[in-house]
């Protein structure tokens, strides 16, 4: 049974950028190799200062019911007590986990 007050902070790599979003549901997908996230939570406090990266995320995920994120793109999943500011940052010092789709053996140069 899922507690409705649980909030998860998901950090993942997307198009060379690091996305950090808050959701209420996260689970392994029926699609092999994917994590599903649902019920996005954005900071709705009335603020005088608007964070442009959070506004960009709100616009990008507006109308999205569920997202399927490849497992190798996931950097971190945290269960948190309260939401924070969702953001997009440059992925300068983060790279995707290398995955071979061919499944062949690598050539060895140990002659």
Kindly report, residue by residue over 39-53, the tens digit of the pLDDT.
888 876 655 566 676
Q: Residue 58 has what pLDDT?
A: 83
pLDDT at 13: 92
| pLDDT less than 50: residues of the chain | 1
**The pLDDT of residue 50:** 65
Pair 75, 12: CB distance under 8 Å? yes
> What are the backbone dihedrals phi and psi of residue 75, each rounded to the nearest 5 degrees, phi first?
-95, -45
Q: Is residue 110 included in any domain, yes or no?
A: no
Residue 15 lies in a domain: yes
Instruction: Say if 34 falls within a structural domain.
Output: yes
Q: Which domain holds residue 23?
A: 7-87
Element at 52 (helix H, strand E): helix 52-60
Q: Does any domain span residue 64?
A: yes
Q: Does residue 27 fall inside a structural domain?
A: yes
Q: Is the pTM of this model over 0.85?
A: no
Instruction: Give the SS3 label for residue 22.
Output: strand
Bridge partners, residue 41, by sequence: 22
Largest CA distance in the chain: 66
Residue 62 lies in a domain: yes
Measured distance CA(102)–CA(31) in Å, rounded: 20
- CATH classification of the domain holding 69: 2.30.30
Task: Judge whether 2 lies within some domain.
Answer: no
**Structural domain includes residue 76:** yes
How many domains in the chain? 1
Q: What is the pLDDT of residue 1?
A: 40
């Amino acid at each position: 049974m899922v507690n409705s007050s649980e909030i998860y902070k998901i950090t993942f790599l997307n198009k060379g950028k690091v996305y950090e979003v808050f959701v209420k549901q996260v689970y392994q997908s029926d699609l092999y190799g994917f994590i599903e996230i649902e019920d996005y939570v954005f900071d709705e406090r009335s603020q005088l200062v608007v964070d442009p990266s959070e506004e960009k995320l709100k616009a990008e995920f507006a109308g999205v019911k569920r997202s399927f994120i490849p497992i190798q793109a996931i950097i971190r999943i945290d269960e948190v007590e309260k939401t924070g500011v969702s953001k997009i940052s440059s992925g300068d010092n983060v790279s995707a986990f290398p995955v071979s789709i061919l499944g062949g053996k690598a050539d060895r140069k140990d002659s």
